[in-house]
Amino acid sequence: MTKKQKTMLARIIAGAVLLTAAVLVPYDGPWRFALFLPAYFMAGWDVLWRAARNIAHGQVFDENFLMALATVGAFCTGFFGEGEYPEAVFVMLFYQVGELFQGYAVGKSRRSISSLMDLRPDYANLESGGEVTQVDPEDVQVGDIIVVKPGEKVPLDGTVIEGASTLNTAALTGESMPRSVGAGESVPSGCVNLSGVLRVRVEREFGESTVAKILDLVENASSKKAKAENFITRFARYYTPAVVIGAVLLAVLPPLFMGGWGQWVQRALTFLVVSCPCALVISVPLSFFGGIGGASRQGILIKGGSYMEALAAADTVVFDKTGTLTQGVFKVSGIYPQGMEKEELLELAALAESWSDHPISRSLKEAFGGEPDPSRVSGAEELSGRGVRVQVDGRTVCAGNKRLMDEAGAACAEGPAAGTVVHVSVDGTYAGHIVIADVPKPDAKEAVKQLRERGIKTVMLTGDSRASGEAAARELGLDDVRAELMPADKVSIVEKLLSEETGRGRLAFVGDGINDAPVLSRADVGIAMGALGSDAAIEAADVVLMDDKPSKLGLAIRISRKTIAIVKENIWFALGVKALVLALTAFGITGMWLAVFADVGVMVLAVLNATRALGAGRA
């Protein structure tokens, strides 16, 4: 508990003791109400002060005003008959118990988010003139060299120039497996260095670093209110004045015809206690706050309640292919020789591509298992849009597409293939072809399966060939695929899918956050995959998955749906109980004690239910 919460707890205990003492005093005279005033002011002086201050500032209809009016009125009923002095004090005490509980629950949620997002480093070890000094990370400039020792947080984004180590990225990605880094590799701020000493060249100032952007994103998530939150705000704006007017009418109109002013004033005051919208005003934002915190624990950053609401309603998920469902790493997936052994065909292709650093060339050399002997290669020519032609051991070797084979006089069939096809000819004779494909991520198939089990349609967009796209879609179990697309084509297709939406469904687009910014912005909810250190992802997307796992998408939707379910439970529960007790109060069937439950009791139960959202990300 905070110091303020401990003080409030002490006041509640003291108020309860004073109330008990007042009840036990055997005096029933006209000044009996004075016995309860110490307990009342001990419990509720701050509520009375806030009500008076808000009235002075023109903010009349809030829960402080309702509690003050109802409890002061309960004391005033002594002028009409027997005053409900113990009930008035107990209502205030119970209200403060509810406020204390609510403050503790919100604090717990904030501490949970703060702990899992405890990324901000306290210092950076700046290397200058052969000496290392501790400085504020905000004082480090781009290009400076910092030293990160074992056990320390990486304070700024940079590139390792010396050393090797493993990094704990759990606070960023939710991934427990350490990540190995060495010279030449980038390291994001917020990670914890586990083993070796690293010398890092700073690539971004602290204000532009990964950790700063993530902290800003989480802290400002509440600014993007969901429809449910906006509904509660608008509801309270009209609801509170309406119930005050209703209470006044209940106190004035019936006595004009039936008499019994004290009885009806008492009912009206009880009506006010019941009407406090605390349960809704507190529990709905707390539910979204808890859901965002639970998602953050899993490395899923949701920028606000409105995006969580859209994600929960998603019935179509559109994926980019490269870097989202696949690793973006090209590997040899098939070797098909004609008139020679597989090893010889692969060696010829690797020799032909030995001079190039193209991704396809690198994949061929990697599959070959070593660096080809460059002394065997001469006369290399790059033939734009077709491939390469070289001399290998005095023979003319061509490696490229079907057009190059036609030029070389080596007849070949194009045929469907799940990837990029590299045809090879030797001295005009066709030697076979090698298929190079992008490798699916290990959990991509499971991610698609999870979405389909939830009744969500899955679509993949790719710039690859139709054969390659369809093969990947079959392998992963996708419902639909659109291939051979330019970036602008992706926007058009998403807009068409959006126009086909019916009912309350929403469309989510999942991309790498770098090349897909226009589509991420156009979808109902844009989700960036593999966004560790990607500025474009954090800026363009509504939801950021901080690692490369497509399976986190299913988890994000599950968390969102559970959070929205909790919000709806709280709304219907609070409105239902209040409507019932308001009706019973108006007819005089219930009194102040049940009113206390309908107000503070419902609030406590709703807050308890809301805290479940914080654990929504747990298995």
Token pair of 600 as six digits = 């503070």
For 527, half-sphere exposure in the C-beta direction (CA atoms, 13 angstrom radius) is 35
Is residue 320 annotated as part of the catalytic site, yes or no? Answer: yes
Tell me how far apart the alpha carbons of residues 268 and 238 are, in angstroms, rounded to a whole number. Answer: 19
Q: Which of 244, 502, 444, 425 is nearest to 328 (CA)?
A: 444
Sign of CA pseudo-dihedral 490, 494, 496, 497: positive
Tell me how far apart the alpha carbons of residues 46 and 43 are, in angstroms, rounded to a whole number. Answer: 8
Q: Which of 198, 144, 137, 190 is nearest to 166 (CA)?
A: 198
Token pair of 333 as six digits = 């997936």
Q: What is the DSSP letter of 418?
A: S
- E-strand ranges in 449-523 read 457-461, 480-482, 506-511
Phi-psi region of 484 (alpha: psi -120 to 50; beta: other; left: phi over 0): left
Interaxial angle between packed helices 261-275 and 227-258, expressed in degrees from 0 to 180 and rounded to the nearest 10: 180
DSSP 303-345: --HHHHHHHHTEEEEEEEIIIIIEEEEEEEEEEEESSS-HHHH
Tell me how far apart the alpha carbons of residues 560 and 466 are, in angstroms, rounded to a whole number. Answer: 34
Rg (CA), the chain: 34
Tell me how far apart the alpha carbons of residues 246 and 585 are, in angstroms, rounded to a whole number. Answer: 12
CA angle 473, 325, 298 (to 5 degrees): 135
Torsion angle of C-alpha atoms 302, 526, 559, 314, degrees rounded to 10: 150
Q: Which of 144, 320, 464, 542 is catalytic?
A: 320
- Residues forming the active site: 320
